[in-house]
Homo-oligomer: A and B are copies of this chain.
Amino acid sequence: MEAKRLLLLLLLCLYVVSSLVIASPQTCPADLSTKCADSGEWEGEFFPGIPTVKYEGPTSKNPLSFKWYNAQEEILGKKMKDWMRFSVAFWHTFRGSGADPFGSATKNWPWEDGTNSLAMAKRRMRANFEFIKKLGVDLWCFHDRDIAPDAETLEETNKNLDEVVALAKKLQGTKIHPLWGTAQLFLHPRYMHGAATSSEVGVYAYAAAQVKKAMEATHYLGGENYVFWGGREGYQTLLNTDMERELDHMARFLEAAVAYKKKIGFNGTLLIEPKPQEPTKHQYDWDAATSANFLRKYGLIDEFKLNIECNHATLSGHSCHHELETARISGLLGNIDANTGDPQVGWDTDQFLTDISEATMVMLSVVRNGGLAPGGFNFDAKLRRESTDVEDLFIAHISGMDTLARGLRNVAKLIEDGSLTDLVRKRYQSFDTEIGTKIEAGKADFEMLEKKAMEWGEPRVPSAKQELAEMIFQSAL
């Protein structure tokens, strides 16, 4: 057996692990008496007990209803659905196994047949669209390798992808399309030293080929954005790393991606997703500012925006709101990976956001940004390892959607009330003067300012009213 086939076997097995085998009778609930000839042909319902989720308002006790998210309701001049642009992440929802560094898979979805076959990939895709429709959203996100299985050669792998993508195209219909696509450049051992920043030129080429194909697939499916998350673009120790050369390689890679995007006429936004660390000790796209610095240094700042993830923000020592604002004021806020972490935990937990206060701050940035389109909110969030019921998938998404919807409603209250905006505006009003205007126009030199300082004497410095700001903010929750 050659290495290639072994790797294939390995990957196949890996997927088996994440999908727990279930015998055939259970896999065809639509017609339990019939044997399923090919698991790809599954035609029944994947979520038989779950109705299409409806808005029932805040007093509802039904876990499978929205209490705050009312898609068609207009808030601040836009429908809620247009503010939110919610997207289901294929990987967490359909490939999340519940495995962690100390434990094997726990999820046991009834539609999984225990293989990573092409047929299984297709069946899973059907489940995906049933899930999306029942949840009432119309966007989804994917990595190339989570929707279609690896094969022995790149050519065959691409063929697999083509087949699944063709099915997805059909299942999408006219209403659904990807918020974004991306290439999975971190799971496979070939990427252990990085993809664009691998020390091996062969890996760099392989990664380029993979991104090329993933971009084509995204384009074909009508995807609105394309994301780069450099899970292995970083280092474990500087002792064995030529960081300068690696960063140069990353720039060359992204330049080539921009060129290819233009060549194929893909008009979607390219997005960088910052993360400080994990799996590597240091990732080159550490946070929003670091990513922007990289883009500026290599002249790529006009070609990319950022995909901010809340859990990545907090791991980098910032609040999520900070990262969103940092991106926003540089015109770089392109998309949000809606999730949260545990404030006492030092790794990515990718939990569904359920904190109202956080959600309100997130929505403040979104509203200030005039919305996120063509980006949106992608639920890069996963069930806890111990949540093993099919309905948990729905409950988690509903909870996440309701929380952000509640955030939007709170922002509307804050804006209507107006006192927080006022408080901030007034703090800076001393700059809304002649001298302030001069300073802001870059026309105030040190000599002039020194003269003013001497003329004015000790400046008056008022209270920053933080506690009042917090009180006003909380009143809107």
Contacts and interface: CB of A to CB of B under 8 A. Distances in A.
Given A449-B204, A459-B202, A465-B240, A471 B395 contact: yes
Given A103-B186, A352-B467, A467-B399, A459 B200 contact: yes
Contacts of A352: 467, 470
A103 B201 contact: no
B208 A446 contact: yes
Contacts of A255: 442
Interface stretch (A1-9, A30-38, A40-48, A132-140): A1-9
A446 B257 contact: yes
Given A356-B474, A453-B154, A427 B199 contact: yes
Interface in A325-379: 325-326, 329-330, 342-348, 352, 354-357, 361
Interface stretch (A80-88, A174-182, A289-297): A289-297
A319 B56 CA distance: 33
Given A199-B427, A427-B199, A102 B279 contact: yes
Contact of A453 (B205, B259, B292, B458): B205
A452 B114 CA distance: 31
Contacts of A345: 277-278, 281, 346
Given A201-B430, A385-B192, A7 B241 contact: no
A477 to B, nearest CB: 6
Given A7-B20, A209-B450, A319-B344, 14 more contacts: A102-B231, A102-B232, A103-B192, A103-B232, A201-B435, A208-B446, A236-B466, A238-B325, A244-B329, A277-B345, A354-B474, A386-B464, A387-B463, A398-B471
